[in-house]
Amino acid sequence: MLEFLIRWIDRLVETIGKAASLLTLLMTGLIVLEMITRTFFGMSWGWVYDLSGWLLAAYVFLGGAWTLQRGQFVRVDILFTRLPPRAKAVVDLTISSLLFVLFAGTLLWFGTRFAWQSYMMNEVSATGAWQAPVFVAKSLLPIGVVLLSLAWLSHILKLVQNGLRSAD
């Protein structure tokens, strides 16, 4: 059962992370299209600025969990890298998990409030170029935190499953 849960989380996080990585191509394409239309046709599409910013947010928030899963998340490694595998596992199970819960809990609380307030006030893009609902982009933060939490849970379950014998 534990192995199934780990595999399911890892597949979900990897699939969403890979999909999010493709957003950079879409974002680049939109920006290039905007540059071409502005340069050669003298017209600008204001919505491209908004949408490319939202795509960047999606890339960061939806891809962060995959980054964590692959061991490429930001970490202060001055001491951690010098620890033996068992000590690394203990640190991750205790100190890192506590700090993660504080970090993720704060982001989830404020991110959800942020998105909910946007939804309740029917907030639309501030550029006026289009009437896209902003809560969609703001919802990416709590969704990303949930994915990040799943990736951390998978990491912790792997440590427990290995009986603290080895760490990443």
> Measuring CA to CA, how many Å separate 30 from each of 8, 47, 52, 106, 117?
33, 10, 7, 33, 29
Range of the domain at 107: 2-161
Domain contains 36: yes
Domain contains 167: no
Domain contains 168: no
- CA geometry: angle 9, 14, 15, nearest 5 deg: 100
What is the number of structural domains in the chain? Answer: 1
Domain contains 132: yes
Smallest CA-to-CA distance from 148 within 91, 85, 97 is with: 97
Q: How confident is the model at residue 167 (pLDDT cuts 50, 70, 90)?
A: very low
Domain contains 46: yes
Which region holds residue 122: left if phi is over 0, alpha if psi is between -120 and 50, else beta? Answer: left
Task: Determine whether 78 is exposed, middle or buried from the number of CB atoms within 10 Å of its CB (0-12, 13-18, 19+).
Answer: exposed
Name which residue leads in pLDDT, 130 or 56.
Answer: 56
Domain contains 114: yes
pLDDT of residue 99: 93
Domain contains 128: yes
Instruction: Dig out the tokens for 49 from the structure.
Output: 């600025």
d(CA 5, CA 76): 29
For residue range 55-92, list pLDDT tens digits in order. Answer: 999 999 999 999 999 987 777 777 788 888 888 889 88
Domain contains 166: no
